[in-house]
Amino acid sequence: MSAIEFVRLPLTAGTRSVGKVRVLRALNALFRTWRNRGEMRRLSEMTEWELADIGLTRRDLALACDGPMSSDPTRILQRIVVERAARDYAARKVS
């Protein structure tokens, strides 16, 4: 006679249903967006000089916040800063 033990393994990401993973990802994205909108409030409290130091303007903040509440404004700001830096670099290279 042989003894077979059944071991109950903990639920891991590999065994979760696809639906649960999607819900968790959506909740994570929602939390991240909410947190980043809080960071936008902090940015709006900065002076013009402080914003210029990080490559932003008040108009950039307004553009980033104009999107829907579900959009992440920090991604928009990141794109603005990268594009501006590329334009500035190209302008310096030409001169």
Whole-prediction pTM: 0.61
The predicted pLDDT at position 93 comes to 84
Helix axes 73-94, 58-65, angle to 10 degrees: 140
Percent of the chain, pLDDT > 70? 82
Nearest in space to 59 (alpha carbons), one of 48, 72, 74: 48
- Rounded to whole angstroms, how far apart are CA atoms 57 and 87? 16
In a domain, 7, yes or no: no
Task: Centre a 10 Å sphere on the Cβ of residue 77 and count the other Cβ atoms it contains.
Answer: 22
Is the pLDDT at 4 greater than 70, yes or no? no
In a domain, 13, yes or no: no
Mean pLDDT score of the chain, rounded to an integer?
83
Is the pLDDT at 70 greater than 90, yes or no? no
Which ranges constitute the DSSP H helices of the chain?
18-44, 48-53, 58-65, 73-94
In a domain, 8, yes or no: no
Please give the tally of structural domains in the chain: 1
In a domain, 9, yes or no: no
Q: Would you place residue 54 in the very low, low, confident or very high pLDDT band (cuts 50, 70, 90)?
A: confident
The predicted pLDDT at position 1 comes to 47
In a domain, 60, yes or no: yes
- Domain holding 39, by residue range, is 18-94
Report whether 84 contacts 60 (CB < 8 A).
Answer: no
Q: Tokens 């013009």 identify what position?
A: 48
Q: What one-character DSSP code corresponds to residue 7?
A: P
In a domain, 28, yes or no: yes
> Averaged over 20-31, what is the pLDDT?
88
The predicted pLDDT at position 68 comes to 79
